[in-house]
Amino acid sequence: MPKYYEDKEEDGRACSGVREDLRQCLLESPCVLQENKSPKQCLREGHCRSLQVTFFACKRSMLDARARFRGRKGY
């Protein structure tokens, strides 16, 4: 699922890989392209659910004290 490219600029924020993939998934979904809805509306309707759950787990792991030993979830 991750779409990393060599020539992309490095994003120093946490969970940036998952964030970029979620963004691309929403922008390429038929909900946005064919129905002309906003990505926010499509996210609420349940499109790209697996990436949304992964992004939430990554952000939640930043607050978890065990993440110091286990590392952040996601990619």
Supply the pTM of this predicted model. 0.74
Q: Which residues contact 7 (CB under 8 A, 6 or more apart)?
A: none
Cα(44)–Cα(30) distance, rounded to whole angstroms? 14
pLDDT 10s digits, 40-66: 999 999 999 999 999 998 888 888 777
Specify the range with the lowest mean pLDDT, choosing from 2-6, 11-15, 66-70.
2-6
